[in-house]
């Protein structure tokens, strides 16, 4: 799939472009040397923290619904990271050499009272902060904090109350809309250059609202719009199946969305991680790139990747109560053997967030398919 359909020429070097992976060449080479037993594993580029394993919505396509709803016992007693621990974790990650911290879910991070002030603290330690939120829980203090993030992703999946309720399971549409407007207003007042972006997942219920959502985000004064297929095929989603979507109609809306782009509003219609009908498409053979990122879940445990959270087979270790415990298992023989034992073709029946990065490592680093000695 050509990049032209996903973003405009002017906006081709955006953060959703998986070619970004090639900028991690030093990490790619280090990971491969480590997997061959010839190097010590570098710290990850990013840490993804899930502060709270609860959510006030109940989305049909939620990729963590297994442990939020149906198998809640998988999380165990501890569903929330203590605030003082979050600060100690940030201290450790900064000193370890991690560059970015994303506050996300496993749940809705803004339900955790410790979120106010945390992004500023991350930035004060020389790292970049980001957050994913459903936008339903906002206060002035929280919004001020969030606007210090490099990006704020607002996961919104409907442009009217009925559809919102149908997809998100709860009637918080009006509240969410008021919050988006407030975020845009504060962003102007604070002159914040945070990339405040609405992210929508394509579903049968909302696939005719894509253009409306994009215009709504622009009209409100947010900075961007990202649309991508929902991963409804992953085996841990209740009633998972291949979605049958009106593909041509969706592409037409994508085109219209791109016409809304200007200097202050960016549009990315992500499809390169899926096939042309928006189905899961993993074109790589080995799990190689996962050490670019470490996740810390609400119980202090870490797993191989964001797509395999709370699955015992993919558990790497814990960083609770002392964040330094990460050093006991990060880059260990157990970590290495775990990655070597994964067969993505049979083990990972879901969209793999890092699918393009694994492929780059196979093609560009191992096979040198881009002939890197010839710029
Ligand atoms: S808002 Fe996010 S975490 Fe909450 S139910 Fe929806 S998809 Fe899941
Ligand atoms: S989904 Fe599978 S292949 Fe992809 S990073 Fe996770 S474990 Fe590795």
Length in residues, the chain: 375
Q: Which atom of ligand 2 is nearest to the CA of 355?
A: 4
Provide the pLDDT for residue 292: 98
CB neighbour class for 188 (10 Å; exposed up to 12, middle 13-18, buried from 19): exposed
Mean pLDDT across 67-86: 94
Residue whose structure tokens are 């991963």: 231
Kindly report each contact of residues 185-192 with a partner whose C-beta sits within 8 Å and lies 24 or more positions away, as own/partner.
185/221, 186/140, 186/143, 186/144, 186/147, 187/147, 187/221, 187/222, 187/223, 188/221, 190/144, 190/147, 192/147, 192/148
Q: Report whether pLDDT(1) > 70.
A: no
The pLDDT value recorded for residue 105 is 80
CA of 19 to the centre of ligand 1 (A): 28
Is 60 exceeded by the pLDDT of residue 111? yes
From 50, 65, 106, 108, give the residue whose CB has the most ligand 1 atoms within 8 Å, as the site to mutate.
108
User: 114 CB less than 6 Å from ligand 1?
Assistant: no
**Model-level pTM?**
0.96
CA of 85 to the centre of ligand 2 (A): 28
Pick from 1-10, 150-159, 250-259, 281-290: least confident = 1-10
Residues 198-226: pLDDT tens digits? 999 999 999 999 999 999 999 999 999 99
Q: Of all protein residues, whose CA lies closest to atom 8 belonging to ligand 2? A: 287
Residue 354 structure tokens: 């890092």
In this prediction, residue 238 carries a pLDDT of 81
Q: Is 59 in the pocket of ligand 1 (CB under 6 A)?
A: yes
Give per-residue pLDDT as tens, 272-325: 888 888 898 888 999 999 999 999 999 999 999 999 999 999 999 999 999 999
Give 11-61 pLDDT, tens digit per residue.
Answer: 999 999 999 999 999 999 999 999 999 999 999 999 999 999 999 999 999
**52 φ/ψ angles, rounded to the nearest 5 degrees:** -150, 125
- Domains identified in the chain and CATH numbers: 3-366 (3.20.20.70)
Ligand 2 mean position, distance from CA 314 (Å): 9
Q: In this predicted structure, what is the pLDDT of residue 2?
A: 46
User: Quick one: tokens of 146?
Assistant: 């969030």
Please say whether the beta carbons of 289 and 357 come within 8 A.
yes
Ligand 2 touching residue 304 (CB < 6 A) = yes
Give 64 Cα–ligand 1 centroid separation in angstroms: 8
Residue 301 CB–ligand 1 contact under 6 Å: no
- Nearest ligand 2 atom to alpha carbon 347: 2
Which residues make beta-bridge pairs with 152?
A: 131, 196
Q: Distance from first CA to last CA of the chain, Å, rounded? A: 24
Measured distance CA(274)–CA(352) in Å, rounded: 10
pLDDT, tens digit, 9 for 90 and up, residues 169-186: 999 999 999 999 999 999
User: ∠ CA(167), CA(68), CA(291), 5° rounding?
Assistant: 105
User: 182: Cβ–Cβ under 8 A, 6 or more apart, which residues?
Assistant: 138, 143
Q: What is the CA radius of gyration of the chain?
A: 20
DSSP summary character for residue 226: E
Percent of the chain with pLDDT over 90: 89
Nearest CA to 273 out of 201, 173, 170 is that of 201
Specify the range with the lowest mean pLDDT, choosing from 135-139, 163-167, 192-196, 270-274. Answer: 270-274
Phi/psi for 118 (5° steps) reads -65, -45
Q: Which of 222, 219, 156 is nearest to 195 (CA)?
A: 222
Q: Which residues contact 219 (CB under 8 A, 6 or more apart)?
A: none
């Amino acid at each position: 799939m050509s990049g032209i359909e996903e973003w405009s020429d002017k906006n081709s070097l955006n953060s959703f472009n998986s070619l970004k992976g090639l900028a991690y060449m030093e990490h790619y080479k280090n990971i491969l040397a480590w997997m061959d037993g010839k190097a010590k594993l570098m710290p990850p580029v990013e840490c993804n923290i899930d502060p709270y394993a609860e959510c006030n919505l109940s989305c049909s396509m939620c990729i963590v619904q297994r442990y939020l709803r149906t198998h809640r016992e998988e999380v165990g007693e501890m569903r929330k990271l203590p605030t003082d621990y979050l600060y100690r974790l940030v201290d450790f990650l900064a000193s370890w050499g991690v560059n970015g911290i994303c506050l996300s879910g496993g749940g809705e991070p803004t339900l955790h009272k410790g979120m106010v002030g945390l992004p500023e603290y991350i930035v004060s330690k020389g790292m970049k902060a980001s957050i994913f939120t459903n936008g339903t829980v906002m206060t002035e203090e929280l919004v001020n904090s969030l606007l210090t993030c490099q990006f704020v992703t607002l996961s919104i999946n409907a442009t009217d109350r009925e559809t919102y309720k149908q997809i998100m399971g709860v009637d918080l549409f009006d509240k969410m809309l008021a919050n988006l407007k407030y975020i845009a207003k504060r962003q102007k007042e604070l002159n914040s250059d945070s990339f405040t972006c609405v992210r929508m997942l394509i579903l049968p219920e909302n696939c005719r609202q894509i253009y409306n959502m994009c215009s709504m985000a622009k009209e409100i004064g947010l900075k961007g719009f990202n649309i991508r297929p929902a991963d409804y095929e992953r085996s841990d989603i209740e009633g998972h199946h291949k979605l049958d979507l009106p593909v041509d109609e969706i592409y037409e809306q994508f085109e219209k969305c791109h016409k809304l782009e200007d200097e202050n509003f960016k549009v990315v219609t992500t499809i390169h991680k899926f096939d042309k009908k928006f189905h899961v498409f993993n074109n790589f053979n080995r799990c190689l790139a996962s050490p670019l990122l470490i996740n810390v879940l609400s119980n202090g445990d870490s797993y191989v990747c964001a797509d395999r959270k709370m699955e015992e087979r993919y558990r790497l270790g814990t960083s609770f109560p002392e964040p330094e415990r990460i050093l006991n298992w990060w880059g260990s023989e157990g970590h290495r053997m775990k990655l070597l034992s994964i067969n993505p073709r049979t083990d990972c029946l879901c969209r793999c967030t890092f699918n393009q990065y694994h492929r780059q490592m196979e093609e560009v680093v191992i096979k040198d398919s881009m002939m890197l000695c010839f710029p």
